[in-house]
Structure 1
């Protein structure tokens, strides 16, 4: 069986506050092959690493991420002791130590992300193979595929592997990212026959991890990367 990528979900979400510098550092300490993170564009145009569309759940603030400036976001505490990071602040310490799965979570993320990735490839010694950009959002995937066809795309789906295949074909994606409950041996085989890698999420329980490994997935996204 080929090696299966160990992918830390929002860093090491099961251990440290999600999508924080400390969480990514913990994931690297645990020996992940890749980290998964989420990005939004804030009101002043920076790409910030944050999952929800509002800051209410994980910070001491309130409001929509895209309506807050970077300075306003930086004033907030994440789970009491961490700060919201920009994507560049996350990539700097990673420094090509692992593969990075960037999910375009918020709207209007494709254009600034395409520019940032081009900068890292042209100026910082990165390769497009160091990244995969994923999303549930058709429009963001479409824009990214048009702006920079060199960016490797992954199609996220929680409901339909068939739809993920259609979008993967339309956008020349490299991978599909289905929820683990959607996987079968048959659709795994079909994906591989189509030349697509399969990165599944969010797989935390030992029985589920064993099952998707048996199916032959290419990568597993987990809150507990040490279980992989």
Structure 2
């Protein structure tokens, strides 16, 4: 059974974290990491398969092409997973038409929004230009409530919020209808190091301007996801999502700790664990 914890309630949660069916039921969320597609990661085929398997939340990465198109892709270079080579940012969108990822076409984020209109997306901004491009795209598609914006670089999260405000949507940047964001490396380090001093709530309210934390089990030799860390985050109104977890026993342990979401590359394993707990499918 899920351990009893303090519910995140210090500040009102944005719709991404509060309005979906799983969140309304109080369920922890399951995220398909890069679509949980393995050799065809971050492709429409991977995301569609994850959606059909029961995932309502899809984790992905975005980069901008040389002509400013927001494309779903993780690496700074193309060689590892695609038939192309070299730096991603050196190519224009039209250049990607001749290449594939795991036999699948490259995917624009705008096309993913249209293809899965009921899905919610956890989006990692992989370059600086992605922040204003994402703000413009969310405004164009009125997709504010469908996206949580993340980045290892806290500067990109702040740049995204500035870009949203500059578009004339201050309520979406910082107000009650804001777009959900999670903390980057600096924010997480502050929560891990200063949280035990009783500063988690102060950090969340006055310093970090985030809506959840998305963290690994460990950072080097330092454990991150402990019972105390989860308790402190919940008391401060911060849901805790953990990445990337593929082992079923570890998933069970984390759920017992009271985490609010698990990201996985093993869609089948997470679906089986969540099914046993009666919290699947998630749309």
* Pair 1:9 & 2:33 matched: yes
In terms of fraction of residues, the more helix-rich structure is 2
Partner SS, residue 155 of structure 1: coil
CA distance in 1, matches of 2:189, 2:29: 20
Which range is displaced more, 155-164 or 26-35? 155-164
Paired positions, count: 220
Partner SS, residue 144 of structure 1: helix
Q: Does the aligned pair in 2 maintain the 1:141–1:171 contact within 8 Å?
A: no
Q: Does the aligned pair in 2 maintain the 1:33–1:99 contact within 8 Å?
A: yes
CA distance in 1, matches of 2:246, 2:184: 18
Q: CA deviation at 1:196?
A: 0.9
Query: Which structure 1 residue ranges, 4+ long, deviate > 6 Å from structure 2?
Result: none
CA distance in 2, matches of 1:193, 1:158: 20
Structural RMSD (CA): 2.1
Say which of 16, 21, 27 aligns to 2:50: 27
Structure number with larger C-alpha Rg: 2
* Pair 1:183 & 2:207 matched: no
Give the TM-score normalised by the residue count of structure 2: 0.72
Q: CA deviation at 1:161?
A: 4.4
Q: CA deviation at 1:225?
A: 2.3
Q: Superposed, which structure 2 residues align to 1:142-181 within 5 Å?
A: 142-148=158-164, 149=173, 150-157=178-185, 160-163=188-191, 166=203, 170-181=207-218
Could you list the runs of 5+ residues in structure 1 that have no partner in the other structure?
none
1:81-132 Cα distance to aligned partner (Å, 9 max, x none): 1111110111111102x221111012221101011112222xxxx4x33211
Q: Does the aligned pair in 2 maintain the 1:155–1:167 contact within 8 Å?
A: no
Partner SS, residue 156 of structure 2: helix
* Pair 1:198 & 2:240 matched: yes
CA distance in 2, matches of 1:162, 1:107: 22
1:51-100 Cα distance to aligned partner (Å, 9 max, x none): 10110101122111111111112211212x1111110111111102x221
CA distance in 1, matches of 2:49, 2:247: 20
